[in-house]
Amino acid sequence: MTHDRVLRTGAAAIALAVVLKIFTSVPLPTKLFNAQSVSRWVIYLETGRILAETVPATQATEPTPTVIEKEPPEEPRRLSFSPSDGELVNIRSSWDCALTPRELVMEPLDWDLTGDEPTVLIYHTHAMESYTPQTGEDYTEEVPFRTADLDYNMVSIGTRLAELLENAGISVFHDTTLHDAASYNGSYASSRETVEKYLAQYPSIRLVLDIHRDAIQPEEGVILRPVAEINGREAAQVMIISGCDDGTMNMPNYFSNLRFAAALQSSMEGMYPGLTRPVFFCYRKYNMDLSPGALLIELGSHGNTLEQVSYSAELVGNALVSLLQQQTAGQ
C-alpha cells in the first residue's frame, strides 16, 4: 500500500514537472496556476479525489465618503457700460447736472434681477389713462382718454411689459390698482401706499416702474402722437422721467435713479434707434424717493393707439432684458 502511494506521488511529481516545463514559456492567466489550483491537481493525481475550490472571503471595506467642495458664492455683478453708450443718452434737465450723459452711463449699476422672489414692481399711479380709440375697440370712457376698462387703460400696457420680463425669467409683481379712480389729485398719495406696502413685503424688489402715458397737446384741438418706425412697425415713443434733488427734496436715491434712466435709454436706443424721447430730469418726486431703482416711464401720448403702445411695451421689455443679460455676463 505504501509502495503504491509512493509510486503515485512520484508519477504526479513527474507529470507536474512536465506540465510546468511545457507552459512556462506561454503567458497564461495567473489564476490558472496559483498555489491552490496546483495543490488540488496534485491531490487528485495522488488520491483520485476532487477538491472543491475554496474562495477566500473578501474583507468588507467601508466606502470612501465623497467630499463635495462648495464654491464660494459669487458676488453680485455690477452692470457697467462703455463711453460709446453715453452717446445714446439724451437728457432734458431742469437742473444743471454735474455729469455728462457719457459719465452717467459709465457709472455702474448695482442691482440683480435674478431670484425667485419678485425683483421688479410695475404699478400705475394714473392707471385709467388710455389712448385714442380705434375701430373695433369697444370700451367706455369715463372722460376722454380715460377708462376703467383694464383691457384698454395703462394696466394692459403694464401686463404686456410684465409678460415680457416674466418670459425672460425675471420675477415681476404687477399691481393693477386704479389709484386715480377715487381722486386724480390724490393718486400719487394712493400709489405711494401701494409701493411702500410691496417694498416692505418683498425686500427683493430692485426696480420700481410707474407706467404712464403722456398728454401732448400744444394747443386746443391739436393732439400730437410721438411715433417711431421700428422694424417696419409704428411704435409709440417712450419718455423716461427721473426726479432730481437740490438738497430740499429728500430724495437720497435720485442719482441712482438717473443712472438707471441713462442705462435704460442707452439700451433702448442701441437696440431701437429713435424709440425714446429725451430723459426728463426734473424737480419731481413721483414716489421715486422710495427706491434706488425707481422710474416713471411714459409710453406714448393720448394721441397714440393702443397697438402702437403695446408694441413699445414689448421693446422696452426687450431693452430691460438686455440689461439683465449684460449683467449676468459680467459686462
Per-residue pLDDT reduced to its tens digit, 257-266: 888 898 899 8
Q: By mean pLDDT, which of 138-142, 181-185, 205-209 is the weakest? A: 138-142
Considering only CA atoms, which of 185, 161, 184 is closest in space to residue 173? Answer: 161
pLDDT at 33: 45
Domain ranges of the chain: 2-47, 83-328
Contact 217, 270 (CB under 8 A): no
Q: By mean pLDDT, which of 166-180, 239-253, 274-288 is the weakest? A: 239-253
Q: Which residue has the higher pLDDT, 185 or 88?
A: 185
Q: By mean pLDDT, which of 208-212, 270-274, 283-287 is the weakest? A: 283-287
Q: What mean pLDDT, rounded, does the chain reach?
A: 78
pLDDT at 323: 83
Sequence-distant (≥ 6) Cβ neighbours of residue 172 within 8 angstroms? 118, 119, 120, 121, 122, 162, 165, 166
pLDDT at 75: 39
pLDDT at 9: 57
C-alpha dihedral (188, 112, 76, 257), degrees to nearest 10: -40
Strand 279-282 to strand 91-93: parallel, antiparallel, or no bridges (unpaired)? parallel
Region 264-269: mean pLDDT is 92
CATH 3.40.190.10 fits 83-328, yes or no: no
In tens, the pLDDT along 65-103 reads: 444 444 443 433 333 444 444 455 666 655 555 555 566
The identity of residue 295, as a single letter, is L
Q: What's this model's pTM, rounded to 2 decimal places?
A: 0.72
pLDDT at 3: 52
Per DSSP, the three-state class of 222 is strand
Considering only CA atoms, which of 303, 287, 305, 310 is closest in space to residue 155? Answer: 310
In tens, the pLDDT along 11-70 reads: 555 555 554 454 454 444 444 445 455 455 444 444 444 444 444 444 444 444 444 444
